[in-house]
Structure 1
């Protein structure tokens, strides 16, 4: 008999201890089940509070980079849309230049030049239509309404957002509205005017090309950072399935042993003590 404890109190003491042990076994097994089901070690704060804090911070960074990567892809699409519109406008301006050179020929009659002027007027209308209808997400890109650069947020903590400058490519902005080839002098002046416009368009396309290259490089960097952070997050969160299975088996065996002792009515106190030492 245990000193200081009556023969009636001893079974009750063992029952209390066994019940506590079974509750702990069930808690451990529940945690192991969640880890196996989710593949994550961090199923609750009791497992690893510091690990959960780190994982939450890494998860926030991963989500931020994912959003930034999507922003970058949208930025690239915007730039490509603007560049495509400029390419169409450039073709029209080149055609106006060809017609201006043609109109500068003294062998043409006034009627010939008038016909050429009509085609130029149509080309100018097409240029303005392209400038007004080149849009991204309902946002005009080339008609001058977007006066501020479009900011592309990348999601990188220390990185400066990319600013996309958009040119104005209307006939007014390119000084094409003044073109009049109904005279030889006017046609000669039109050649110089179109050269200036073509230079401006070429410079704008070069700027957009450089911006696109920068965004593509940023996109690759953001993607790589996201992969690295995701890998680190996986290492922190990931459950060791083999170890979890082994721990689950041990918990089951401990439960069976505890229940076996309880079913014997605590006849052997030494057996109970050995169970609690497993």
Structure 2
């Protein structure tokens, strides 16, 4: 058997040991990070797909937050309009009372005073209801969106929006009269930049009864629209959550560590590492043969 100074066996063993150590380094990273892909070199194609999935997941997640904000906004608007409806109903009841011929002027004036307070409160609600510091019932949505509507971005995809329909004049007394076309009646008085009902006479009370339902209908109609939009928001949130769950599962299969597989890889590599170390010791011992031949 020939003996050479260059130890090819040791070189081969060192190359194998280096490969094993690199493999162990990869396994340790995967086990500690929980990610199968820790750098682009681990899986270039998989990394690109995982990044795209992450973008979609983040888009749906933020979309759900946006929709929740939109839902809260619509509920705020509905709550304010519920109060407006209640006050219009009270005005209607007072109009029925004032139209009764058994009341004298003093009694009717007391009723009329109540109505003026209710009208002022309706206008105050229309002007002062806010969401995030922005008025939302005074017409054109207080500048939320140029056409009066409020667009809610539903996901990370372009043009995937749900709009809360706008209204031009708002839900003050003046705004309501513009929707019903009753601002020219003798029982509708101008008070600064606002309108108010007048029940000072039985005739005025009869006139108010003739169109108060139009005001109630205008508010109820928009509340119905808000209800439909809220249903859309809730449905879109459920869809976003489903999409996010499915995309997260797909990303996990590509990007996350399979601990069962990596545990098996770790055990295999550690055995091979120990074997290489043992072999290297035997290879180094074989060099003593050369020294003995030289009389060393």
CA RMSD of aligned residues (A): 2.1
Question: Residues 54-73 of structure 1: matches in 2 within 5 Å?
Answer: 54-73=49-68
Q: For structure 2, which runs of at least 5 residues remain unmatched after alignment?
A: 142-146, 178-187, 189-194, 288-296
Matched, 1:43 2:38: yes
Task: Choose which of 96, 102, 116 in structure 1 pairs with 2:97.
Answer: 102
Matched, 1:163 2:153: no
SS of match in other structure, 2:41: coil
In the alignment, is the contact (CA less than 8 A) between 1:134 and 1:141 conserved in 2? yes
How far, CA to CA, are the matches of 1:258 and 1:126 in structure 2? 88
Partner of 2:176: 174
Partner of 1:25: 20
Q: Give CA-to-partner distance per residue, 1:148-187, whole Å, 9 cap, x none.
A: 2111111153763001124421111112625211112211
Q: For structure 1, which runs of at least 5 residues remain unmatched after alignment?
A: 270-278
How far, CA to CA, are the matches of 1:80 and 1:57 in structure 2? 35
Task: For residue 43 of structure 1, report the CA deviation from its aligned partner.
Answer: 2.1
Task: For residue 145 of structure 1, report the CA deviation from its aligned partner.
Answer: 4.7
Q: Give CA-to-partner distance per residue, 1:3-56, whole Å, 9 cap, x none.
A: xxx7122x2x44443333332222211111121223322222232221111111
Partner of 1:275: none
Task: Choose which of 121, 136, 142 in structure 2 pairs with 1:141.
Answer: 136
How far, CA to CA, are the matches of 2:286 and 2:265 in structure 1? 27
Question: Residues 215-254 of structure 1: matches in 2 within 5 Å?
Answer: 215-254=233-272
Task: For residue 122 of structure 1, report the CA deviation from its aligned partner.
Answer: 0.6
How far, CA to CA, are the matches of 1:163 and 1:140 in structure 2? 17
SS of match in other structure, 2:273: helix
SS of match in other structure, 1:264: helix
Task: For residue 261 of structure 1, report the CA deviation from its aligned partner.
Answer: 2.1
How far, CA to CA, are the matches of 1:178 and 1:254 in structure 2? 91
How far, CA to CA, are the matches of 1:129 and 1:16 in structure 2? 89
Label 1:159 to 1:229 Cα distance change in 2 as closer, same or farther (>3 A): farther
In the alignment, is the contact (CA less than 8 A) between 2:58 and 2:156 conserved in 1? no
Q: Give CA-to-partner distance per residue, 1:63-99, whole Å, 9 cap, x none.
A: 1100001111111111111000000011011111111
In the alignment, is the contact (CA less than 8 A) between 2:129 and 2:135 conserved in 1? yes
How far, CA to CA, are the matches of 2:148 and 2:9 in structure 1? 78
Task: Choose which of 265, 277, 281 in structure 2 pairs with 1:263.
Answer: 281
In the alignment, is the contact (CA less than 8 A) between 1:62 and 1:229 conserved in 2? yes
Number of equivalenced pairs: 264
Q: Give CA-to-partner distance per residue, 1:101-133, whole Å, 9 cap, x none.
A: 111122211111211111111111211222223
Q: Give CA-to-partner distance per residue, 1:218-248, whole Å, 9 cap, x none.
A: 1111111111111111122232212211111
Q: Give CA-to-partner distance per residue, 1:191-241, whole Å, 9 cap, x none.
A: 223211001011010000011111111111111111111111112223221
How far, CA to CA, are the matches of 1:140 and 1:158 in structure 2? 27
How far, CA to CA, are the matches of 2:173 and 2:286 in structure 1? 101
TM-score of the superposition, structure 1-length normalised?
0.88
Higher alpha-carbon deviation: 46-55 or 194-203? 46-55
In the alignment, is the contact (CA less than 8 A) between 1:36 and 1:244 conserved in 2? yes
